């Protein structure tokens, strides 16, 4: 199947590569020509602007946008809306706010162009592991794109099959679902990221307590000098809290037991805030998710070992770099 990909950053580039590896024809564009060249070398057809990308695609076209949420995605979709023809499809695989999906879908529908929102999880490991996808859009359009989603998805992998799923949508076991109409894909991904915040915070706080078990504030016979690297490793083996996030933590601690490479400044990309907004709209208590979000806000003021754990995990799964602190920026 032929598809265009716009935005060749950490995920867009590897999404293109995975599609190429699975036999799809990929036309790619990025505002930075240096980002296009390596993907073209791997088998994609690189172009220099949006008009050329559209011209290279055979109708009905499919164009996957993998850009940061906000103005750049908005502007790109508006431009594509003027270039594409009736029956073409715009897919947004970034972390877009789900209400923007609904609005943009209505805008594109005026020209009979289809919109599909794809909540995409997998980070920098997606090329190797595959991407978990939560998809919103009209069923016939989502079904038409199934070869693309199937190629990107991780498949069954090593996860044991859940008993009693006979007769249910088999795509969920493969790592992708049609969640519902426009906006549903990014809504589900938004909650996914909110849960991610809570899980990460639980690990971070737990390891912070372990690290401070040797505190001078404790009675001498109540102090423990614990090896956090080995604790993280043993928890990976048969423990009920074993997970990919724990794998990333164990790896980070093995490389840097004190996490001296991290300040503990923890950014948020918006989904955590939107999750809390949804909880408020639905009058659903979200104590843990709210606290995890507020901790990220606090991390930008003072930094504990917990924030370093969070930064290490974010670096591991998404290559997210810490911003320079105001203090370091002034001194450099």
Whole-number average pLDDT of the chain: 94
- 331 has a pLDDT exceeding 70: no
Give long-range contacts, CB 8 A cutoff, 24+ apart: 327-331: none
Name which of 271, 293, 69 is nearest 200 in CA terms. 293
Query: Whose CA is closest to 116, among 191, 30, 47, 176?
Result: 176
Token representation of residue 62: 């499919």
Give the orientation angle of helix 244-255 with respect to helix 228-235, to 10 degrees.
Answer: 150
CB atoms within 10 A of CB 3: 23
pLDDT of residue 329: 46
| Six-digit token string for 134 | 């939560």
- Please give the average per-residue pLDDT across 239-249, as a whole number: 96
Whether 156 shows a pLDDT value over 60: the answer reads yes
How do 176-180 and 132-136 pair as beta strands? parallel
Q: CB-side exposure of 248: number of CA atoms within 13 Å?
A: 22
Across 92-112, average pLDDT: 97
Cβ(232)–Cβ(241) below 8 Å: no
Per-residue pLDDT at 332: 41
Q: Which residue has the higher pLDDT, 210 or 269?
A: 210
Residue 321: per-residue pLDDT: 85
Alpha-helix residue ranges (DSSP H) falling in the chain: 12-21, 33-41, 50-56, 71-83, 98-109, 126-129, 139-144, 146-152, 171-174, 184-211, 228-235, 244-255, 271-282, 287-299, 305-318, 326-331
Ramachandran category for residue 69: left, alpha or beta (phi over 0 → left; psi -120 to 50 → alpha): beta
25 catalytic? Reply is: no
CB 36 within 8 A of CB 28: yes
Q: What is the mean pLDDT of residues 55-77?
A: 97
Q: Is the pLDDT confidence value at 328 over 70?
A: no
**Catalytic entry in 99, 110, 189, 308:** 189
* Amino acid 325: pLDDT: 60
Confirm whether 139 is a catalytic residue: no
Of 25, 34, 139, 196, the catalytic one is 196
pLDDT at position 248 over 80 = yes
pTM: 0.89
Residue with tokens 């076991």: 173
């Amino acid at each position: 199947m032929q598809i265009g990909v716009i935005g060749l950053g950490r995920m867009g580039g590897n999404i293109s590569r995975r599609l190429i590896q699975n036999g799809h024809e990929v036309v790619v564009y990025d505002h930075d020509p240096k980002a296009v060249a390596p993907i073209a070398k791997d088998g994609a057809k690189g172009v220099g602007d949006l008009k050329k990308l559209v011209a290279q695609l055979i109708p009905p076209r499919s164009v996957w946008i993998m850009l940061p949420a906000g103005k750049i995605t908005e502007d790109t979709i508006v431009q594509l809306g003027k270039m594409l023809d009736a029956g073409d499809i715009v897919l947004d695989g970034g972390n877009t706010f789900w209400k923007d999906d609904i609005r943009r879908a209505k805008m594109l529908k005026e020209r009979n162009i289809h919109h599909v929102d794809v909540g995409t999880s997998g980070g920098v490991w997606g090329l190797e592991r595959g991407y978990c996808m939560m998809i919103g859009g009209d069923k016939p359009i989502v079904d038409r794109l199934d070869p693309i989603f199937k190629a990107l998805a991780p498949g069954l992998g090593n996860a044991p099959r859940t008993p009693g799923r006979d007769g249910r949508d088999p795509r969920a076991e493969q790592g992708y679902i049609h969640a519902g109409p426009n906006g549903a894909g990014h809504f589900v991904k938004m909650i996914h990221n909110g849960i991610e915040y809570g899980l990460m915070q639980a690990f971070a706080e737990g390891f912070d307590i372990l690290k401070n078990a040797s505190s001078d504030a404790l009675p001498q016979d109540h102090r423990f000098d614990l090896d956090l690297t080995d604790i993280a490793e043993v928890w990976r083996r048969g423990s009920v809290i074993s997970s990919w996030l724990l794998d990333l933590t164990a790896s980070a601690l093995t490389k840097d037991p004190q996490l001296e490479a991290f300040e503990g400044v923890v950014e948020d990309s918006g989904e955590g805030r939107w999750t809390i907004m949804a909880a408020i709209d639905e009058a659903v208590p979200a104590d843990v998710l709210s606290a995890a979000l507020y901790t990220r806000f606090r991390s930008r003021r003072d930094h504990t070992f917990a924030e370093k754990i969070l930064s290490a995990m974010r670096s591991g799964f998404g290559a997210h770099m810490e911003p320079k602190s105001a203090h370091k920026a002034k001194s450099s």
